[in-house]
Amino acid sequence: MSDLLTFVTTDYAGITRGRSIAVADYQPGKPKSVGWVPANMSLTPFDQIADPNPWGSSGDLRLLGDENARYRVALPGAATPTDMMMSWITELDGSPWALCPRTFLANAIADFETLTGLRFVASFEHEFQLFGTGWAQAPAFSLRALRQADPFGPELMAALGALHCAPEVFIAEYGRDQFEVTMAPSSGLVAADRAVVLREVVRELAALKGWRASFAPKTAVNGVGNGVHIHFSFQDASGANATYDPARPGRVSAVGGAFAAGVIRHLPALVALTASSPISYLRLKPHNWSSSYTWFGDRDRESSLRICPVTTIGGADPSRAFNLEYRAADACACPHLALGAVIRAGIEGIRAKLPDPPLFSGDPEALSPEDRRHLGLERLPATLGAALDRLEADKAAAGWFSPLALETYIGMKQAEISLAGEALDDALCTRYADIY
Ligand code: GLU
Ligand code: MG
């Protein structure tokens, strides 16, 4: 038996795909790539390539491994180690392919860092559900819910630790057999890579036990949502948190406020990239603790961009952990694309020197339309189709992509919408639960 090393990319459908070589054939320090196909980017989650698409049957690309982003771990019960290397999608000469999501993120981070002189730090928080476990229902957040999954939690934390993903907290969540894992912050590219690793490791660990893990935003129409919450902050050269300023509203620094304003301004377009499936919009509804309005909130879990709490227990420095949380994302979205788009929106806000968005806490649904307008609270698009229209109509957001990238993304998503069909029902949620 020869262990395999897989060169992976996570594509516009948020699915991690790749090709493998025998691990013995990999020579550290020497660039290694495997073949790839442009039309793969037009693959819908339903395994049908959007037709038409800009690529057809022609053209060739490479998946060029990033040797700083190799994740190898032996999972309990697996025949061979899981071994993946995050890869850049390149042309045959190694130059970046215009649609590579990882390059999209790396470029957004580089532009942010050039513009601000600050380091972009992030962490993805994931919720998921386990199916096929045969467990009795246990109360939400309970020790019993946590313990009946044993040793899933300890094995997952150990695997993430061995993968240097810095796991922090494992939670039995609110929903039935729903769990959450958080990881420590890292630089933006590493954070998105870790999101990929976490999803794949959770799925594999569950499958090794005969269960099925799903990160789908909804696994039943009236069920609990599985969110992906993207936490971020900025670090200055001294390592201090440049997002934090206790003298300002919400304790958000001027640069943090301008970034937040860009995110809020472009949110109706952003969700087309961060909540990227038709069923994502079953989750983005009021009173779901997800997000549903262009809403900047201080410690309010209904807001779309939330100022997170900090603790001062034991004399802790409140600036250390201070961060903002983008809540309008789910695991149908490619983490690199989602984070890259959030950063692009933030850059727009900084460049335009936008004032901080108004802070709101409460129930936007209880306000008059006029009061909502006054507070800048706009209901987010109610469907993926409407979100894609907003993406196309938002000239700045559309401009974050090359015309071919935008055409590919929108074309693939339109094909996904028609393959999903009209009914956003439990059957469709089950289809998504099986894929994600
Ligand atoms: N499950 C919620 C979501 O769909 C999040 C709940 C929480 O705040 O942890 O985003
Ligand atoms: Mg949660």
CB burial of 22-61 (b: ≥16 within 10 Å; e: otherwise) equals eeeebeeeeebbbebebbbbbbbbeeebbeebbbeeeeeb
**Per-residue pLDDT tens for 7-39?**
999 999 999 999 999 999 999 999 999 999 999
Tell me if 290 CB under 6 Å of ligand 1: yes
Q: Alpha-carbon distance 396 to 109, whole Å?
A: 17
Band (pLDDT 50/70/90 cuts) for residue 193 is very high
- State which ligand 1 atom lies nearest to the alpha carbon of 226: 4
pLDDT tens-digit readout, 280-337: 999 999 999 999 999 999 999 999 999 999 999 999 999 999 999 999 999 999 999 9
225 pocket-lining for ligand 1 (C-beta < 6 Å): yes
Ligand 2 centre distance from Cα of residue 175 (Å): 10
pLDDT given for residue 86 in this prediction: 98
CA of 300 from ligand 1 middle (Å) equals 11
The answer, yes or no, to whether any atom of ligand 1 lies below 6 A from the CB of 416, is: no
From the CA of 168, how far away is ligand 2's center (Å)? Answer: 13
Domains of the chain: 4-97 (3.10.20.70), 104-435 (3.30.590.10)
Ligand nearest to the CA of 218: 1
What's the confidence (pLDDT) of residue 310? 92
Q: Residue type for 129, please?
A: Q
Collect all residues with Cβ–Cβ distance below 8 Å to 97 and sequence separation of at least 6: 38, 61, 88, 89, 90, 91, 103
Q: Which amino acid is at 220?
A: A
CA dihedral 321, 324, 327, 333 (to 10 degrees): -90
- Nearest-ligand number for the alpha carbon of 228: 1
pLDDT of residue 370: 96
At 197, the pLDDT band (50, 70, 90 cuts) reads: very high
Confidence tier at 179 by pLDDT (50, 70, 90): very high
pLDDT of residue 278: 98
207 C-alpha to ligand 2 centroid (Å): 23
Query: What is the pLDDT at residue 162?
Result: 98
217 lines ligand 1 (CB under 6 A): no
Q: Whose CA is nearest to atom 1 of ligand 1?
A: 225
HSE, CB side, 13 Å, CA atoms: give it for residue 219.
22
Percentage of residues of the chain with pLDDT beyond 90: 100
In contact, 384 and 413? CB cutoff 8 Å: yes
In degrees and rounded to multiples of 5, residue 387 shows phi and psi of -65, -40
The residues facing 167 across adjacent strands are 183
How many A from CA of 65 to the centre of ligand 2?
33
pLDDT digits (tens, 9 = 90+) for 46-94: 999 999 999 999 999 999 999 999 999 999 999 999 999 999 999 999 9
Kindly report, residue by residue over 272-291, the tens digit of the pLDDT. 999 999 999 999 999 999 99
Residue closest by Cα to atom 7 of ligand 1: 289
| N-term to C-term CA, the chain | 30
Q: What is the pTM of this model?
A: 0.98
Q: Which of 304, 327, 380, 429 to mutate to test the pocket of ligand 1 (most atoms within 8 A of CB)?
A: 327
127 Cβ closer than 6 Å to some ligand 1 atom: yes
Q: Which atom of ligand 1 is nearest to the CA of 283?
A: 4
Ligand 2 centroid – CA 173 distance (Å) = 6
pLDDT of residue 187: 98
Please tell me the distance from the alpha carbon of residue 165 to that of residue 161, in angstroms, as a whole number: 6
Residue with tokens 């109360």: 139
Backbone torsions φ then ψ of 149, nearest 5 degrees? -85, -10
How many whole angstroms from 282 Cα to the centroid of ligand 2? 17
**Looking at the CA of 169, which ligand is closest?**
2
If one residue of 229, 230, 308 were mutated to test the ligand 1 pocket, choosing by the most ligand atoms within 8 A of its CB, it would be 229
Query: What are the pLDDT digits (tens) for 394-411?
Result: 999 999 999 999 999 999
In angstroms, the Cα distances linking 415 to 34, 45, 432 are: 28, 10, 15
Q: 126: Cβ below 6 Å to ligand 1?
A: no
Ligand 2 center to 300 CA (angstroms): 13
Tell me which ligand sits closest to the C-alpha of residue 301. 1
> 262 CA to middle of ligand 2, Å?
25
Summary mean pLDDT of the chain: 97
In this structure, the residue with its CA closest to atom 6 of ligand 1 is: 289
> What's the pLDDT tens digit per position in 200-235?
999 999 999 999 999 999 999 999 999 999 999 999
Angle at 54 (CA atoms; ends 50, 58), nearest 5 degrees: 100
pLDDT at position 354: 98
Q: Which atom of ligand 1 is nearest to the CA of 227?
A: 10
Query: Which-ligand-closest: CA of 224?
Result: 1
What is the distance in A from the centroid of ligand 2 to the CA of 177?
Answer: 13
pLDDT at 292: 96
Q: pLDDT tens across 101-139, in order?
A: 999 999 999 999 999 999 999 999 999 999 999 999 999
Crossing angle for the helix pair 335-351 and 188-208, to the nearest 10 degrees? 160
Does residue 224 have its Cβ closer than 6 Å to ligand 1? yes
